Each structure stands twice: as C-alpha cells, then as structure tokens.
C-alpha cells in the first residue's frame, strides 16, 4: 500500500509539472498571425471549441512520461529498501 501511495503521489506531481512545462513551451513558441486573423474575422463561428487532438496527444505524452519516471523512482526506492 505504501508503494502505491508513493507511486501515485510521484505520478500526479510529475504529471502536473509536465503539463505546466508543456503549456509554457507551447505559449512561448506561439506566434499569432494578426493579418490572417483580421481577414478571417468576418467568417468566425459563434461557437467556441475547447478540445482537439493536439492537447489530447500532449496529455497522453506527459502522462506516459510521468508514469515512466514514477516507475523508475519506485524501482530505485525499492532497490534501496531491499539492500538494507
């Protein structure tokens, strides 16, 4: 039970950290196209879409990366505990 709690806590901490880092990276790399936005403003939809394939893939990638790191941490902790 203790191992599960440690794994879950490290997974969640790493997942949130990676989400923040990916968000900062995407924000930093974003360059708005002002002319294109002005030209397409006449054909804008009245509905807002808040989902897409891009954010889903980033979430899956960061969750997988967090799980691998958390698993590695658990193996390292378990080896130290068994070697005592």
Each residue's pLDDT tens digit, 4-28: 888 888 888 888 888 898 889 888 9
- How high is the pLDDT of residue 50? 62
How many structural domains compose the chain? 1
40 within a domain of the structure (yes/no):
no
DSSP readout, 8-61? HHHHHHHHHHHHHHHHHHHHHH----HHHHHHTGGG--SS-----HHHHHHHHH
Domain that holds residue 15: 1-27+54-84
Helix H segments across 30-49? 34-39
Beta strands (DSSP E) in 1-84 are none
Token reading at 26: 């995407």
Main-chain phi, psi angles of 51, to 5 degrees:
-140, 165
37 within a domain of the structure (yes/no):
no
pTM of the model: 0.55
């Amino acid at each position: 039970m203790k191992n599960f709690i440690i794994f879950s806590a490290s997974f969640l901490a790493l997942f949130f950290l990676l989400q923040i880092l990916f968000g900062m990276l995407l924000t930093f790399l974003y360059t708005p196209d002002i002319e294109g936005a002005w030209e397409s403003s006449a054909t804008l939809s009245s509905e807002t879409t808040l989902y897409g394939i891009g954010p889903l893939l980033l979430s899956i990638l960061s969750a997988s990366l967090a799980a691998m790191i958390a698993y590695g941490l658990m193996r390292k902790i378990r080896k130290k505990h068994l070697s005592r």
